[in-house]
Amino acid sequence: MPEMTFDVRWPDGHLQRCYSPSLVVYDYLTVGAHYTVADFVDRSGTALDEASARVRAKFGFACTSAAATTEQIVSAAAAFPDSATVRVVAMDPVAP
Protein backbone atom coordinates (compact mmCIF):
# COMPACT_ATOMS: atom_id res chain seq x y z
CA MET A 1 0.00 0.00 0.00
CA PRO A 2 1.58 3.31 -1.03
CA GLU A 3 2.04 5.76 1.80
CA MET A 4 2.45 9.50 1.64
CA THR A 5 3.18 12.65 3.59
CA PHE A 6 1.51 16.02 3.25
CA ASP A 7 2.79 19.32 4.60
CA VAL A 8 0.49 22.05 5.85
CA ARG A 9 1.15 25.61 6.95
CA TRP A 10 -0.97 26.70 9.90
CA PRO A 11 -2.20 30.29 10.32
CA ASP A 12 0.76 31.13 12.59
CA GLY A 13 3.24 30.02 9.90
CA HIS A 14 4.11 26.71 11.56
CA LEU A 15 4.75 23.91 9.06
CA GLN A 16 3.45 20.46 10.01
CA ARG A 17 4.31 17.23 8.20
CA CYS A 18 1.47 14.71 8.25
CA TYR A 19 1.52 10.99 7.43
CA SER A 20 -1.03 8.84 5.62
CA PRO A 21 -0.76 5.11 4.90
CA SER A 22 -2.66 5.67 1.63
CA LEU A 23 -2.73 8.10 -1.27
CA VAL A 24 -6.44 8.70 -0.61
CA VAL A 25 -5.53 12.13 0.78
CA TYR A 26 -5.31 13.28 -2.85
CA ASP A 27 -9.08 12.79 -3.04
CA TYR A 28 -9.65 15.30 -0.21
CA LEU A 29 -6.83 17.88 -0.33
CA THR A 30 -5.02 19.80 -3.06
CA VAL A 31 -1.48 21.18 -2.98
CA GLY A 32 -1.56 24.98 -2.88
CA ALA A 33 -5.16 25.12 -1.71
CA HIS A 34 -6.28 27.08 1.32
CA TYR A 35 -8.88 25.59 3.67
CA THR A 36 -10.48 26.98 6.77
CA VAL A 37 -9.22 25.22 9.87
CA ALA A 38 -12.62 23.59 10.36
CA ASP A 39 -12.75 22.37 6.76
CA PHE A 40 -9.16 21.11 6.88
CA VAL A 41 -9.79 19.15 10.09
CA ASP A 42 -12.89 17.62 8.50
CA ARG A 43 -11.25 16.79 5.16
CA SER A 44 -8.04 15.42 6.62
CA GLY A 45 -9.93 13.43 9.26
CA THR A 46 -12.15 11.86 6.62
CA ALA A 47 -9.14 11.07 4.41
CA LEU A 48 -7.18 9.53 7.28
CA ASP A 49 -10.18 7.49 8.43
CA GLU A 50 -10.53 6.13 4.91
CA ALA A 51 -6.79 5.43 4.72
CA SER A 52 -6.95 3.53 8.00
CA ALA A 53 -9.95 1.55 6.74
CA ARG A 54 -7.94 0.55 3.67
CA VAL A 55 -5.18 -0.73 5.94
CA ARG A 56 -7.76 -2.66 7.97
CA ALA A 57 -9.21 -4.21 4.81
CA LYS A 58 -5.79 -5.28 3.58
CA PHE A 59 -4.05 -6.29 6.81
CA GLY A 60 -6.84 -6.87 9.33
CA PHE A 61 -6.00 -3.98 11.66
CA ALA A 62 -6.38 -0.20 11.61
CA CYS A 63 -3.42 2.11 11.09
CA THR A 64 -2.44 3.67 14.41
CA SER A 65 -0.20 6.15 12.58
CA ALA A 66 -3.21 7.55 10.72
CA ALA A 67 -5.04 7.92 14.03
CA ALA A 68 -2.00 9.64 15.54
CA THR A 69 -1.83 12.05 12.60
CA THR A 70 -5.50 12.89 13.06
CA GLU A 71 -4.89 13.59 16.75
CA GLN A 72 -1.92 15.83 15.90
CA ILE A 73 -4.00 17.79 13.39
CA VAL A 74 -6.90 18.23 15.83
CA SER A 75 -4.48 19.33 18.55
CA ALA A 76 -2.78 21.89 16.30
CA ALA A 77 -6.14 23.16 15.01
CA ALA A 78 -7.37 23.86 18.54
CA ALA A 79 -5.03 26.87 18.71
CA PHE A 80 -6.85 28.68 15.90
CA PRO A 81 -10.35 29.93 15.13
CA ASP A 82 -12.32 27.66 12.80
CA SER A 83 -12.37 30.40 10.17
CA ALA A 84 -8.57 30.84 10.01
CA THR A 85 -6.88 29.34 6.94
CA VAL A 86 -4.52 26.41 6.52
CA ARG A 87 -2.54 25.90 3.31
CA VAL A 88 -1.48 22.53 1.91
CA VAL A 89 2.07 23.22 0.74
CA ALA A 90 3.26 19.81 -0.45
CA MET A 91 2.40 16.17 -0.90
CA ASP A 92 4.90 13.37 -1.39
CA PRO A 93 4.89 11.44 -3.57
CA VAL A 94 3.67 13.93 -6.14
CA ALA A 95 0.31 12.95 -7.62
CA PRO A 96 0.57 10.93 -10.84
The whole-model pTM stands at 0.93
> Which sequence spans correspond to the domains of the chain?
4-92
Interatomic CA distance for residues 81 and 73, integer angstroms: 14
Task: Provide the residue-wise pLDDT of the chain in tens; the chain has 96 residues.
Answer: 689 999 999 999 999 999 999 999 999 999 999 999 999 999 999 999 999 999 999 999 989 999 999 999 999 999 999 999 999 999 999 866
